[in-house]
Amino acid sequence: VGVAVLAQFMGIGVAAYATGIFFQAMFVDLGWSRGDLALSMSVGAILAAIVSPLVGAYVDKYGANRIMAMSAFLSGGCLILCGYIHELWHAFFIFSLLTVFRTGFVYIPVMVMVSNWFSSKRGRAMGIATAGQGLGGIILSPLSTYLISNIGWRISWGVIGLLTWAI
């Protein structure tokens, strides 16, 4: 359950809370609109929907630990690469990959892992696991704001990527 909390903390914490903070800094610096970056996230969501059945099949066949480790590593790498975005197509490419990799890091493996480990008190275990989402917002939002204010959005993406690798 601890691994599930940490995965939800980083995966959802970045996706649902920190990304908006980074986007605001990127809008100002790169001169893009909200729609430009939102579209890149939508493309990623479509791709994630396409690969989700494949991730599920992989988890069923090999277990959650392999796909989670690989996807966490790749997600952290994408977050580091976000600091090197200069063109809109870079954002489309990196955010699309990040959304796809997050599917194997957070959503499917966490739910399968927790539901397989707990037959009694499964609901409680799932509730604890998903508490990581809220914790991600509580901690990563102010952390992202602080980092961006002090070291800029480019380096801050790298810090968040390294934090993903560490967790």
pLDDT digits (tens, 9 = 90+) for 93-133: 999 999 999 988 888 898 888 888 888 888 999 899 889 99
* CA-to-CA separations, 52 to 125, 158, 165, in angstroms, rounded: 23, 27, 22
Distance of CA 33 to the CA centre of its chain: 22
60 burial level (CB within 10 Å; 0-12, 13-18, 19+): exposed
Mention every residue, 6+ apart, whose C-beta is less than 8 A from residue 78: 94, 95, 97, 98, 101, 161
Q: What's the pTM?
A: 0.92
Alpha-carbon distance of 51 to 150, in angstroms, equals: 37
